[in-house]
Chains A and B, each alone.
Chain A
């Protein structure tokens, strides 16, 4: 049992390392993990003066919005790129579970993107001289871990979606702005039409944002973070099932690399 766990951990670690090495050569990573959060922060913070509490909420909204973009373009594109490189079949038909390989790659992409987004946001925050309210740093760290877990699970789910279509690149571009508008981050849910206000509740990142908003202005409320964790578990489960179905169908029809 221990040996299997160690082997699984080693496979996930190798997948993570491989993904991160590949990301160093991809210009889109710089766009979504550096340029976009910097631009959004300047735009949002430059429009009006922010109190320390508002600054925390604004930075949280921008970081999580950038995380969505990064998830779509990096973690979400893992299997699409594998197909492009001609290595998809080897990745999903090896001795180890395809889900494990995808998990490692998605985690690697998410961690790499998160580091870029946080670092570039920190530079802008310093440049703009934001005064920050960080009343519960420990809980913010927990929230960050939930974001990474959520990004990883969402990335796996999107990667499976892009596996069953030949238009993955077009879908990537198409998925960005709907979530910018309906994700409940920079545009709060109460600014949406009533009949659309249920949509943000489906996005785990929006619940993390609600947790940060609560923490920055008062006591710790764990319920939003709990919902984010539950949604993350749901994404992960759905991704594992979708991947299994997609790979099985691809192998049966002989179309794994040909969609």
Chain B
């Protein structure tokens, strides 16, 4: 493809190049040594902690519940926290103006570059589950979860969308650490991952729009032998809604950037 073709080429080619760039960017910021030496142990120990805590607080049945939810917690909290690296990279490199003037809209570029986060997060989750389940004596439960592993992947994408919205909202004030962590703790409290729904009504109300809540309900429904497809659909809808929220936030940031004449999410 010649250079002129590339300038006017199909949107799909541009999108593919952006995705490819996203992988290279992810690899540069999170090389295998960081994924294996930092992200994996953190997620693994987080899941182990919540699983053991469930058993300590409310016995074996809650330990099983906490393991199923702990996998969602470890995955969602990690993806939400780390995906903020995408807009932060533009903030720190001063490259937001190039996104604004490109052929692809900034939100499409952000989303394409963020794709490695849920995919790698899901891979790390599989390894974590394989280690934690035997340690906690829950190997049988882990095997029963295998047919619905795809729901965890869906949750990873929902968390990515929510994480992008949170980061795009906060990165201008350098508050992405605070907002991303806050979002992670909202997932902990409201997703039903550790606290079963019905305990604190206010948290349940917030939980309906929190990543992981409906996916987790679908997983528990599968374990009980109940229909679970509606939970998956609801989780997907929540993900799309968060992607819409992120698009809105980025659009507002662009509008502000044009009005104030700056280009760094300030």
Contact = CB atoms under 8 A, between A and B. Distances in A.
A187 B195 contact: no
Given A39-B185, A180-B49, A46 B195 contact: yes
B57 interface: yes
A44 B54 CA distance: 9
Given A43-B189, A46-B200, A47-B194, A31 B38 contact: no
| Dominant SS among interface residues on chain B | helix
B116 to A, nearest CB: 19
Interface string A148-182: 00000000000000000000001001101110110
Nearest to B54: A47
A187 B175 contact: no
Interface residues of A, number: 26
B209 to A, nearest CB: 18
Contacts of A44: 53, 57
Interface stretch (B146-154, B176-184, B220-228): B176-184
Given A170-B34, A170-B38, A187-B52, A27 B175 contact: yes
B200 A47 contact: no
Contacts of B185: 35-36, 38-39
Contacts of A39: 185, 188-189
Interface string B40-69: 011001101100111111100010000000
A48 B182 CA distance: 24
A227 interface: no
**Dominant SS among interface residues on chain A:** helix
A191 B55 contact: yes
A178 B189 contact: no
B188 A177 contact: no
A43 B52 contact: no
A181 B45 contact: yes
Interface string B201-213: 0010000000000
Contacts of B56: 186-188, 191
Contact of B178 (A31, A47, A48): A31
Contacts of B174: 27
B177 A177 contact: no
A47 B189 contact: no
Interface string A218-255: 00000000000000000000000000000000000000
Contacts of B181: 27-28, 31, 35
Given A27-B175, A35-B181, A170-B38, A177 B45 contact: yes
B178 A177 contact: no
19 contacts: A28-B177, A28-B178, A31-B177, A31-B181, A42-B195, A43-B194, A44-B53, A46-B199, A47-B57, A47-B62, A47-B195, A48-B58, A170-B38, A174-B38, A174-B42, A177-B46, A181-B48, A181-B52, A187-B49
Question: 6 closest A-B pairs (Cβ-Cβ)?
Answer: A27-B178, A177-B45, A39-B185, A31-B181, A47-B57, A27-B177
